[in-house]
Amino acid sequence: MTGNRFGTLFQYTTFGESHGSAIGCVIDGVPPCISLSEKDIQPFLDLRKPGQSRHTTQRNEEDKVKILSGVFEGQTTGTPIGLLIENTDQKSKDYSDIKDKFRPGHADYTYMHKYGIRDYRGGGRSSARETAMRVAAGAVARKVLEHSIVGDGCLLEESNCPQNKLQNKLQIRAAVIQIGTECINRDNWDWDQVHQNSFFSPDFEAAVHWVEYLDMVRKRSSSAGAIVEVYASGVPAGLGAPVYDKLDADLAKAMMSINAVKAVEIGSGFESVILGGEDNADEIRIDSDGVPEFQSNNAGGILGGISSGQDIVVRVAFKPTSSILMSRKTIDVDGNETDIITKGRHDPCVGIRGVPVVEAMMACVLADHWLRYKAQCL
């Protein structure tokens, strides 16, 4: 099976299955002499791990990461970084009654067509358990970015960066802005709220309402989709390329590769269609410090595939969880029509736990493009 590797210069390969003994990744291309320990990675995994609230799956994985290689005396050595998480809460019996049936909305049917063999326990390689390793790789990507863009090893020449004043704070942060039919009120947006509620909501009132809403969804044995919005601020201008390696194209691919993601928007996205060019194209002025300043950000921080120095803004739509307690029509491996109810422990809204994964993919794409920028622009 190919397609387990991400990136060009910041490159990682993940391995492992949901119900195997462990999952892991090997990260290649991390520059030497960056401080790194498990403590830099674990907090991000803790945000993604199951069982954090009754609105996420009750599977009880510890998700304790171990660094196997590539770090000496607390610093990266420039060699491949091996990371491992043991699976401690596999309950294969949860899947025994559906082992010969294709779960609607899952990869079971297509996977079987392609490979002719399938680990029915939680989807094998197509299980979202894989996203834990993306979050781990994303934490390392953040270290690369922090070290080289804002930290001790800052490589950026002032002359290379008209948006210099933006770089003192590189931040990648995401929030849930919609669950099912229920949106946040943008006037209530408060980043400090995001880690104060179980939904990563920037709007306290929306989070209170979502408790009721998801309880109602769950009572119907149904599930809900979600939209996650991610911002990368303090990204220098110049990351990306104008043709096939556009920054927005790579971000779209990275986000679309997350399980259950069905749509990605950059900046104004689909909304830009209804704007005239005079409203959509972001005008530019020089601010009082002599720094170029965009008057709006419909482009989502990317022009011609290259970062502009503005916030990079991406929205990611997660479909509703497919495994629900409602009877669904399907077929079995022998081609017989049958019904299925997917018992076991599932997220009623997978988009919630998607938040740290979306942030991680943003970090990985930016770290990759940052290293590519340094490789080309001397």
Ligand X SMILES: Cc1cc2nc3c(=O)[nH]c(=O)nc-3n(C[C@H](O)[C@H](O)[C@H](O)COP(=O)(O)O)c2cc1C
Determine which residue in the list 34, 258, 306, 367 makes contact with ligand X, applying CB under 6 A.
Answer: 258
Q: Which stretch binds ligand X (CB under 6 A): 26-34, 207-215, 236-244, 345-353?
A: 345-353
Q: Is 260 in the site for ligand X (CB under 6 A)?
A: yes
CA angle in degrees (0–180, nearest 5) for 227-365-79: 135
Q: Which is nearer to ligand X, 64 or 165 (CB)?
A: 64
User: Residue 300 corresponds to which tokens in the numbers above?
Assistant: 């989502």
Q: Is 347 in the site for ligand X (CB under 6 A)?
A: yes
Q: Is 237 in the site for ligand X (CB under 6 A)?
A: no
Output DSSP code: residue 147: I
Query: 123: Cβ–Cβ under 8 A, 6 or more apart, which residues?
Result: 18, 106, 107, 108, 111
Determine which residue in the list 45, 65, 128, 302 makes contact with ligand X, applying CB under 6 A.
Answer: 128
Query: 289: Cβ–Cβ under 8 A, 6 or more apart, which residues?
Result: 165
CA distance 378 to 360: 27
Q: Which is nearer to ligand X, 300 or 320 (CB)?
A: 320
Helix (H) or strand (E) holding 114: helix 108-115
Is residue 310 within 8 Å of 302, Cβ to Cβ? no
CA distance 339 to 69: 47
User: Restricting to residues 315-344, which ones interact with ligand X according to CB under 6 A?
Assistant: 319, 321-323
Q: Which is nearer to ligand X, 107 or 254 (CB)?
A: 107
Q: Which stretch binds ligand X (CB under 6 A): 11-19, 252-260, 327-335, 367-375?
A: 252-260
CA distance 29 to 276: 43
Q: Is 357 in the site for ligand X (CB under 6 A)?
A: yes
Q: Is 85 in the site for ligand X (CB under 6 A)?
A: no
CA distance 66 to 91: 23
Counting residues that bind ligand X (by CB under 6 A) gives 20
Helix (H) or strand (E) holding 280: helix 277-280
In the complex, least distance from residue 303 CB atom to ligand X, rounded to whole angstroms: 30
Is residue 254 within 8 Å of 319, Cβ to Cβ? no
Could you give the string, one character per residue 129-168, with x where binding to ligand X holds by CB under 6 A and - elsewhere?
--x-------------------------------------
Determine which residue in the list 49, 106, 121, 134 makes contact with ligand X, applying CB under 6 A.
Answer: 106
In the complex, least distance from residue 119 CB atom to ligand X, rounded to whole angstroms: 12
Tell me the helices (H) and strands (E) count for the chain, helix number first.
7, 18
In the complex, least distance from residue 68 CB atom to ligand X, rounded to whole angstroms: 24
CA distance 289 to 309: 16
Closest CA to 235 of 161, 295, 170: 170
What region does 37 belong to: left with phi over 0, alpha with psi -120 to 50, or beta? beta
Q: Is 369 in the site for ligand X (CB under 6 A)?
A: no
Q: Which is nearer to ligand X, 218 or 319 (CB)?
A: 319
Q: Is 123 in the site for ligand X (CB under 6 A)?
A: yes
Q: Is 350 in the site for ligand X (CB under 6 A)?
A: yes
Footprint of ligand X on this chain (CB under 6 A)?
57, 106-107, 123, 126, 128, 131, 258-260, 319, 321-323, 346-347, 350, 353-354, 357
